[in-house]
Amino acid sequence: MLQVMNSVLLIGDRSSRLSVLNRALNEFGYEVIERQEQNEDLLTLVSSLLPDILVIGLDKPAPSLLEKLALISKASPLPVVMFVEQTTENIVQQAIRSGVNAYIVADLQPQRLKTIIDVAVARFQEYQSLKDELVQTRSRLEDRKILDRAKGLLMTRQGISEDLAYKKLRKMAMDNGKTVAAVARNVIDVFNMLEEKTS
Protein backbone atom coordinates (compact mmCIF):
# COMPACT_ATOMS: atom_id res chain seq x y z
CA MET A 1 0.00 0.00 0.00
CA LEU A 2 1.37 3.41 -0.98
CA GLN A 3 2.15 5.75 1.87
CA VAL A 4 0.66 9.24 1.45
CA MET A 5 3.45 11.67 0.56
CA ASN A 6 2.48 15.32 0.43
CA SER A 7 5.32 17.68 1.46
CA VAL A 8 7.80 18.66 -1.23
CA LEU A 9 11.21 20.31 -1.05
CA LEU A 10 11.63 22.15 -4.36
CA ILE A 11 15.06 23.31 -5.50
CA GLY A 12 16.52 24.41 -8.82
CA ASP A 13 18.81 26.74 -10.74
CA ARG A 14 16.28 28.98 -12.50
CA SER A 15 13.50 30.95 -10.81
CA SER A 16 11.15 30.76 -13.83
CA ARG A 17 11.33 26.94 -13.81
CA LEU A 18 10.87 26.86 -10.03
CA SER A 19 7.77 29.05 -10.36
CA VAL A 20 6.22 26.67 -12.93
CA LEU A 21 6.96 23.64 -10.73
CA ASN A 22 5.77 25.40 -7.58
CA ARG A 23 2.47 26.40 -9.19
CA ALA A 24 1.86 22.88 -10.54
CA LEU A 25 2.71 21.28 -7.18
CA ASN A 26 0.27 23.59 -5.40
CA GLU A 27 -2.46 22.87 -7.97
CA PHE A 28 -2.07 19.13 -7.35
CA GLY A 29 -2.35 19.64 -3.59
CA TYR A 30 1.30 19.22 -2.59
CA GLU A 31 2.68 21.34 0.22
CA VAL A 32 5.89 23.02 -0.94
CA ILE A 33 7.85 23.42 2.29
CA GLU A 34 10.92 25.09 0.79
CA ARG A 35 11.57 26.62 -2.60
CA GLN A 36 15.01 27.90 -3.47
CA GLU A 37 18.00 27.85 -5.74
CA GLN A 38 20.39 24.91 -5.34
CA ASN A 39 21.54 24.73 -1.75
CA GLU A 40 25.12 23.80 -0.89
CA ASP A 41 24.07 21.92 2.24
CA LEU A 42 21.24 19.87 0.77
CA LEU A 43 21.74 16.96 3.19
CA THR A 44 21.23 19.24 6.21
CA LEU A 45 18.21 20.84 4.56
CA VAL A 46 16.57 17.45 3.92
CA SER A 47 17.44 16.21 7.42
CA SER A 48 15.98 19.29 9.11
CA LEU A 49 12.86 19.83 6.98
CA LEU A 50 12.07 16.11 6.48
CA PRO A 51 10.16 16.51 3.19
CA ASP A 52 8.28 13.53 1.77
CA ILE A 53 9.56 14.21 -1.76
CA LEU A 54 12.47 16.12 -3.32
CA VAL A 55 11.75 17.82 -6.68
CA ILE A 56 14.69 19.33 -8.58
CA GLY A 57 14.61 21.49 -11.73
CA LEU A 58 17.95 22.14 -13.47
CA ASP A 59 19.58 22.89 -16.76
CA LYS A 60 22.05 20.06 -16.11
CA PRO A 61 22.88 18.26 -12.84
CA ALA A 62 26.38 18.88 -11.49
CA PRO A 63 28.43 15.91 -10.21
CA SER A 64 28.55 17.57 -6.76
CA LEU A 65 24.73 17.55 -6.58
CA LEU A 66 24.61 13.87 -7.51
CA GLU A 67 27.15 13.15 -4.75
CA LYS A 68 24.88 14.95 -2.26
CA LEU A 69 21.88 12.97 -3.49
CA ALA A 70 23.81 9.73 -2.97
CA LEU A 71 24.49 10.78 0.65
CA ILE A 72 20.82 11.66 1.14
CA SER A 73 19.84 8.26 -0.29
CA LYS A 74 21.91 6.61 2.46
CA ALA A 75 21.14 8.94 5.38
CA SER A 76 17.56 10.18 4.75
CA PRO A 77 16.14 8.30 1.76
CA LEU A 78 13.17 9.88 0.00
CA PRO A 79 11.67 9.91 -3.53
CA VAL A 80 13.60 12.22 -5.86
CA VAL A 81 12.20 13.67 -9.09
CA MET A 82 14.60 15.54 -11.35
CA PHE A 83 13.71 17.72 -14.37
CA VAL A 84 16.67 18.65 -16.59
CA GLU A 85 17.09 20.47 -19.89
CA GLN A 86 20.17 18.61 -21.08
CA THR A 87 21.90 15.40 -20.13
CA THR A 88 24.28 12.62 -21.15
CA GLU A 89 23.98 8.85 -20.77
CA ASN A 90 26.69 8.95 -18.12
CA ILE A 91 24.80 11.54 -16.04
CA VAL A 92 21.56 9.55 -16.30
CA GLN A 93 23.33 6.47 -14.90
CA GLN A 94 24.94 8.54 -12.12
CA ALA A 95 21.57 10.11 -11.25
CA ILE A 96 19.86 6.70 -10.94
CA ARG A 97 22.75 5.39 -8.81
CA SER A 98 22.43 8.51 -6.64
CA GLY A 99 18.81 7.70 -5.79
CA VAL A 100 16.87 9.68 -8.42
CA ASN A 101 13.57 7.87 -9.01
CA ALA A 102 12.30 9.89 -11.97
CA TYR A 103 14.66 11.66 -14.40
CA ILE A 104 12.79 13.78 -16.96
CA VAL A 105 14.71 15.40 -19.82
CA ALA A 106 13.42 18.53 -21.63
CA ASP A 107 9.78 17.71 -20.91
CA LEU A 108 8.47 19.99 -18.18
CA GLN A 109 4.72 19.58 -18.64
CA PRO A 110 2.97 20.76 -15.45
CA GLN A 111 -0.12 18.63 -16.15
CA ARG A 112 2.00 15.45 -16.00
CA LEU A 113 3.69 16.35 -12.69
CA LYS A 114 1.40 14.34 -10.39
CA THR A 115 1.71 11.19 -12.52
CA ILE A 116 5.50 11.54 -12.59
CA ILE A 117 5.63 11.97 -8.81
CA ASP A 118 3.25 9.02 -8.26
CA VAL A 119 5.52 6.78 -10.36
CA ALA A 120 8.64 8.05 -8.55
CA VAL A 121 7.07 7.40 -5.13
CA ALA A 122 5.98 3.89 -6.18
CA ARG A 123 9.49 3.11 -7.49
CA PHE A 124 11.06 4.49 -4.32
CA GLN A 125 8.80 2.45 -2.03
CA GLU A 126 9.37 -0.71 -4.06
CA TYR A 127 13.14 -0.19 -3.91
CA GLN A 128 13.04 0.46 -0.14
CA SER A 129 10.97 -2.68 0.34
CA LEU A 130 13.49 -4.76 -1.64
CA LYS A 131 16.34 -3.19 0.31
CA ASP A 132 14.65 -4.05 3.62
CA GLU A 133 14.08 -7.63 2.45
CA LEU A 134 17.75 -7.93 1.50
CA VAL A 135 18.86 -6.65 4.92
CA GLN A 136 16.53 -9.12 6.65
CA THR A 137 17.76 -12.00 4.48
CA ARG A 138 21.40 -11.15 5.23
CA SER A 139 20.58 -10.89 8.92
CA ARG A 140 18.86 -14.31 8.90
CA LEU A 141 21.85 -15.87 7.10
CA GLU A 142 24.23 -14.32 9.62
CA ASP A 143 22.08 -15.56 12.52
CA ARG A 144 22.05 -19.03 10.95
CA LYS A 145 25.86 -19.09 10.73
CA ILE A 146 26.17 -17.98 14.36
CA LEU A 147 23.63 -20.58 15.48
CA ASP A 148 25.47 -23.36 13.62
CA ARG A 149 28.77 -22.27 15.14
CA ALA A 150 27.35 -22.19 18.68
CA LYS A 151 25.77 -25.63 18.18
CA GLY A 152 29.11 -26.96 16.91
CA LEU A 153 30.93 -25.62 19.98
CA LEU A 154 28.39 -27.18 22.36
CA MET A 155 28.52 -30.50 20.50
CA THR A 156 32.32 -30.61 20.63
CA ARG A 157 32.81 -29.32 24.19
CA GLN A 158 29.94 -31.17 25.81
CA GLY A 159 29.81 -34.26 23.60
CA ILE A 160 26.13 -33.83 22.76
CA SER A 161 24.05 -34.23 19.60
CA GLU A 162 23.11 -31.36 17.30
CA ASP A 163 19.46 -31.69 18.35
CA LEU A 164 20.35 -31.46 22.05
CA ALA A 165 22.71 -28.52 21.43
CA TYR A 166 19.86 -26.63 19.71
CA LYS A 167 17.44 -27.49 22.52
CA LYS A 168 19.95 -26.12 25.06
CA LEU A 169 20.30 -22.88 23.13
CA ARG A 170 16.53 -22.55 22.77
CA LYS A 171 15.98 -23.17 26.50
CA MET A 172 18.62 -20.55 27.40
CA ALA A 173 16.90 -18.10 25.05
CA MET A 174 13.48 -18.73 26.63
CA ASP A 175 14.86 -18.53 30.19
CA ASN A 176 16.58 -15.20 29.48
CA GLY A 177 13.93 -13.65 27.22
CA LYS A 178 16.38 -13.42 24.31
CA THR A 179 16.45 -14.67 20.74
CA VAL A 180 18.25 -17.94 20.00
CA ALA A 181 20.70 -15.96 17.82
CA ALA A 182 21.55 -13.60 20.72
CA VAL A 183 22.15 -16.57 23.04
CA ALA A 184 24.27 -18.26 20.36
CA ARG A 185 26.45 -15.12 20.18
CA ASN A 186 26.87 -15.18 23.98
CA VAL A 187 27.83 -18.87 23.91
CA ILE A 188 30.46 -18.19 21.23
CA ASP A 189 31.82 -15.24 23.27
CA VAL A 190 32.04 -17.38 26.44
CA PHE A 191 33.88 -20.18 24.65
CA ASN A 192 36.23 -17.63 23.05
CA MET A 193 37.04 -16.15 26.48
CA LEU A 194 37.67 -19.61 27.91
CA GLU A 195 40.03 -20.36 25.02
CA GLU A 196 41.93 -17.12 25.62
CA LYS A 197 42.34 -17.93 29.32
CA THR A 198 43.64 -21.43 28.66
CA SER A 199 46.00 -20.44 25.83
pLDDT digits (tens, 9 = 90+) for 62-114: 888 999 999 999 988 999 999 998 888 888 899 999 999 999 998 778 888 99
pLDDT value for 68: 92
pLDDT value for 39: 58
Whole-number Å distance between alpha carbons of 197 and 175: 27
Task: Kindly list the strands in the beta sheet with 53-58, ordered across the sheet, starting from the edge strand earlier in the chain.
Answer: 31-37, 7-12, 53-58, 80-84, 102-105
Q: What is the pTM of this model?
A: 0.70
Name beta bridge partners: 10: 35, 55
Average pLDDT over residues 31-40: 77
Position 198 pLDDT exceeds 90: no
Count CB-CB contacts under 10 A for residue 87: 18
Give the pLDDT band (50/70/90) at residue 1. Answer: very low
Give the amino acid at 198.
T
Give the amino acid at 86.
Q
Whole-number Å distance between alpha carbons of 70 and 98: 4
- Residue range 172-187, pLDDT digits in tens: 999 999 999 999 999 9
Count CB-CB contacts under 10 A for residue 60: 13
pLDDT value for 108: 79
Average pLDDT over residues 10-18: 87
- The candidate with the shortest Cα–Cα distance to 64, out of 35, 43, 85, is 43
